[in-house]
Amino acid sequence: MDALLNAELLDSVLTAAGRPSAVAREEVRVWSMSGVERLTFSDGATAIFKYAKKPFDSEDQALRLAHTLGVPVPKVHASAVLDGWLGMLLEDLGAPIRDVDDLDGAAAAVVLHSTRRAASLPILDQEALRSLPGRALDHLARLRKAERWQDADDIEAALDRLAQAAEARSTEATVAPFGWVHSEFHPTSLHIGQRGWRLLDFARSFTGPGLLDLASWHGTLKEPDLVRLRVFLETYVAEGGTPDALAERGGLAAEKWALGWHRMWAVEWFMEQAIRWINDPATDPAYIKVVRRHLTDALRLLEV
């Protein structure tokens, strides 16, 4: 983000919050599409300044809605939009008092998934789920039209196979838990502090199968672990989640269905980033590598 625009956005947010300029700014996490800073004011108070561009530019609305519906989230003190960038002044939760474990994740997921559905959130129902391979194929066509991803016949073939199987494998998508999905549900998105726990990072939340959150909890860097996810699903039920979380879907065990569709969801997202949000040919090798890995997992897990 341009430094001048960043400064103007911060000034707009501070003005909206009725706060003076910060005397210190500390980068917490910054990447090309968003960033997080800790601000310190002259009276010693602190706050978090988070900024992001599309498609992450409506997180302030999601956080305010989540708070209204009773989900523990950081308070939004103020927000502003400038030249397509969202800026938010958030409650500073401070340093966590301990690491997050699977029991914490399961309990937080139960609270989120039992929250009343929000009409303003995008919906990922069965129709939308089964459209994911086709959407990814559309992204691939646009990439090739731009003379990129030319050596990706294997990706096209895998997506074709998934598209043909999608209708059968996407059944029971709306079986409970179906509702508010965090979509970036990882241990780093759950903060446990002196005043309890808070969920962070609601920039891509939607209404859909809660099992996608549970499948994302352990990350995507390692081989999908069906046994580990099954145990996590059972922990989720034990913490008050619906027993339907353990039910078969699309002719598959819940854990296979969840991991398979989560990987397909990730493939479509990475390919959209490659052509739309990032749109930088220099990043193509990295994106192609991760798409191939997730497609291999999706084919195996969805038994295509």
Cβ neighbours around 176 below 10 Å, total: 16
The residue length of the chain stands at 304
Residue 282, exposed/middle/buried by CB under 10 A (0-12, 13-18, 19+)? exposed
Q: Crossing angle, helix 153-169 and helix 132-145, to 10 degrees?
A: 160
Contacts 24+ apart (CB under 8 A), 247-252: 247/172, 247/175, 248/172, 249/171, 249/172, 249/173, 249/175, 249/211, 250/168, 250/169, 250/170, 250/171, 250/172, 250/173, 250/302, 251/168, 251/169, 251/171, 252/169, 252/301, 252/302, 252/303
Mean of pLDDT values over 227-234? 98
State the pLDDT at residue 187. 97
Residue 22 scores a pLDDT above 90: no
146-203 confidence digits (pLDDT tens): 999 999 999 999 999 999 999 999 999 999 999 999 999 999 999 999 999 999 999 9
Residue 32 scores a pLDDT above 90: no
State the pLDDT at residue 1. 83
Share of the chain above pLDDT 70, in %: 100
State the pLDDT at residue 138. 98
Residue 17 scores a pLDDT above 90: yes
Residue 280, exposed/middle/buried by CB under 10 A (0-12, 13-18, 19+)? exposed
State the pLDDT at residue 20. 87
Query: What six digits make up the tokens of 3?
Result: 């430094």
Residue 58 scores a pLDDT above 90: yes
Q: Is 279 left (phi over 0), alpha (psi -120 to 50) or beta?
A: left
State the pLDDT at residue 193. 96
Of the pLDDT bands very low, low, confident and very high (cuts 50, 70, 90), residue 278 is very high
Write down the mean pLDDT value for the chain: 96
DSSP 8-state secondary structure symbol assigned to residue 20: P
State the pLDDT at residue 118. 86
How far apart are alpha carbons 304 and 302 in whole angstroms? 6
Dihedral sign for Cα 72, 78, 81, 86, please.
Answer: negative
Contacts 24+ apart (CB under 8 A), 3-6: 5/82, 5/83, 5/85, 6/35, 6/51
Matching residue, tokens 């089964």: 130
- Closest alpha carbon to 135 in 275, 256, 299, 245: 275
State the pLDDT at residue 119. 87
State the pLDDT at residue 98. 97
How far apart are alpha carbons 161 and 148 in whole angstroms? 22
Contact 9, 51 (CB under 8 A): yes
State the pLDDT at residue 116. 92
State the pLDDT at residue 280. 95
Domains of the chain: 3-90 (3.30.200.20), 102-301 (3.90.1200.10)
pTM: 0.95
Of the pLDDT bands very low, low, confident and very high (cuts 50, 70, 90), residue 261 is very high
Of the pLDDT bands very low, low, confident and very high (cuts 50, 70, 90), residue 8 is very high
